[in-house]
Amino acid sequence: MLAVRAVSVWPQPTRSVYRNRNVFYISGMYEWSDTDLMFRDALRGFIEKEIRPHVDRLESGELPPYDIIRKLYSAFGIDEMARESLERALAKEEAGEKSSGSGGMGGSPGMAALLNIEIAGISLGLVASLGVSLGLTAGTIRSRGTLAQKKRWLPELVTFEKVGAWAITEPDSGSDAFGGMKTTVRRDGEDYILNGQKTFITNGPYADVIIVYAKLDEGDASVDRRDRKVLVFVLDKGMEGLTQSPPFKKMGMNSSPTGELFFDNVRITRDRLLGETEESGKSDGKDSAKESFAAERIGIAYLSLGIIERCLELCVEYSHSRKLWGSEIGRFQLIQLKLAEMEIARVNVRNMVFSAIERAQAGKPVSLSEASAMKLYSSRAATDVAMEAVQLFGGNGYMAEYRVEQLARDAKSLMIYAGSNEIQVTHIAKGLLAR
């Protein structure tokens, strides 16, 4: 077993300044620690051996990503680290002490970032499925659940024995998630009855544990449907009235199964309401979803960096190997311009990533407005870089065999999910105008 125990070894920051056409970014920049680099090298070995040979089957949807994720967890001891970290956190909570970290994988922020970055360039969907299960599903139970709920669902989620999904989007309410939500719950004695539908749900087709957001229908027609309370519940696969669709066919990120969920009079006992009482405030869906937004958006910067780094690697290789007019294409200035702009994007996004890691390490979390700026910039940069990579490869770039076309299709998803980029604009502006 490659038991990489993440120890935080953070060298001194150095001051760096970078500029491109649109961005002027200053950062007290950290480098990867020696431990992070050891982890990265071991991870690259795992990717070569255990992921790359299966990419075609993952991308066709023939092979769901979950067993490979479990193998990754076991190879790096992440399952054990996560289990131990959770046990410590729950014991602290039981003893009445404040605790954090009971939903994560128990490593350093650098290690978590590297896991996302390194896998994103090979199989974005695989790492997106992992992130939704661990970050959004386990993360929501960690921050909103009672101790009993954490004990019930987290142990198998943090070790990836069970797969999680997080369901808020509906056919008529994407960006307008709360206002347009039509999935409802009504009280029935001590229980609730859930009806409605969710769509575009990552891991939806296979999930064992599902977080569902639903509007409370109290039977009072005078309350505008848009303004009704949103509650959050935890469902388990196989509950009566719950249907999980097969995966959709998508443009990219095909190693992540995405599907629909249907709720037909699903009876939900109160122990599945997050926080277990409406009065606790923990069941408030609007607050709960907002809590997840910043982390999810920072995660997009990690994934974007992975795509950009992989594109650059492939493009530099191809600039040497492709010869035209008796010369490597890397000698042509228009090709050099593409490489230079990819490098500028890499440096900018990497600095954003380092800044987020540094802030997490210092206990000074990135604000929602800043996280939105990171998401918007990095997803756009990744998509631009990947499209330019296709162009640099010419006709080969358009062929699946050369992989840059997959990267371009994958990158585009980053501009849509975790809140579309247009919605990021509104959140950035809101942060600025509130000052």
Ligand X SMILES: Cc1cc2nc3c(=O)[nH]c(=O)nc-3n(C[C@H](O)[C@H](O)[C@H](O)COP(=O)(O)OP(=O)(O)OC[C@H]3O[C@@H](n4cnc5c(N)ncnc54)[C@H](O)[C@@H]3O)c2cc1C
Q: How far is the CB of 219 from ligand X (least distance, A)?
A: 27
**Among 66-74, 197-205, 331-339, 400-408, the segment contacting ligand X (CB under 6 A):** 197-205
Q: Is 420 in the site for ligand X (CB under 6 A)?
A: yes
The site map against ligand X for 242-271 (x = CB under 6 A) is -----------x----x-------------
Q: How far is the CB of 341 from ligand X (least distance, A)?
A: 25
Q: Is 291 in the site for ligand X (CB under 6 A)?
A: no
Q: How far is the CB of 64 from ligand X (least distance, A)?
A: 15
Q: Is 417 in the site for ligand X (CB under 6 A)?
A: yes
DSSP H/E element including 165:
strand 164-167
Q: How far apart are CA 208 and CA 390, in angstroms?
A: 38
Nearer to ligand X, 133 or 319 (CB): 133
Q: How far is the CB of 336 from ligand X (least distance, A)?
A: 34
User: What's phi and psi for 96, nearest 5 deg?
Assistant: 85, 10
Among 8, 14, 100, 175, binds ligand X (CB under 6 A): 175
Residue with nearest beta carbon to ligand X:
174
Residues whose CB falls within 8 Å of the CB of residue 183, separated by 6 or more in sequence, listed in order: 170, 194, 195, 196, 197, 198, 212, 213, 214, 215, 263
Q: Is 166 in the site for ligand X (CB under 6 A)?
A: yes
Tokens 């995405």 belong to which residue? 258
Q: How far apart are CA 150 and CA 227, in angstroms?
A: 29
Among 32, 200, 233, 354, binds ligand X (CB under 6 A): 200
Q: How far apart are CA 287 and CA 217, in angstroms?
A: 19
Q: How far is the CB of 383 from ligand X (least distance, A)?
A: 13
Q: Is 67 in the site for ligand X (CB under 6 A)?
A: no
User: Is residue 179 within 8 Å of 224, Cβ to Cβ?
Assistant: no
**Is 24 strand, coil or helix?**
strand
288-323 in b/e form (b: 16+ CB < 10 A) is bbeebbbbbbbbbbbbbbbbbbbbbebbeebbeebe
Which DSSP string corresponds to 98-114?
----SSS-SS-HHHHHH
Q: How far apart are CA 30 and CA 376, in angstroms?
A: 22
Q: How far is the CB of 89 from ligand X (least distance, A)?
A: 25
Nearer to ligand X, 142 or 427 (CB): 427
User: Is residue 161 within 8 Å of 74, Cβ to Cβ?
Assistant: no
Q: How far is the CB of 196 from ligand X (least distance, A)?
A: 13
Residues numbered 93 to 132 that lie near ligand X (CB under 6 A) are: 132
Q: Is 419 in the site for ligand X (CB under 6 A)?
A: yes
Q: Is 376 in the site for ligand X (CB under 6 A)?
A: no
Which DSSP string corresponds to 250-316?
-SS-TTS-EEEEEEEEEEE-GGGBTTSSGGGSTTBHHHHHHHHHHHHHHHHHHHHHHHHHHHHHHHH
Q: Is 164 in the site for ligand X (CB under 6 A)?
A: no
**Among 142-150, 331-339, 364-372, 415-423, the segment contacting ligand X (CB under 6 A):** 415-423
Strands (E), 60-107: none
Among 34, 41, 188, 422, binds ligand X (CB under 6 A): 422
Which positions touch ligand X (CB under 6 A)? 132, 166-169, 174-175, 200-202, 253, 258, 413, 416-417, 419-420, 422-423, 426
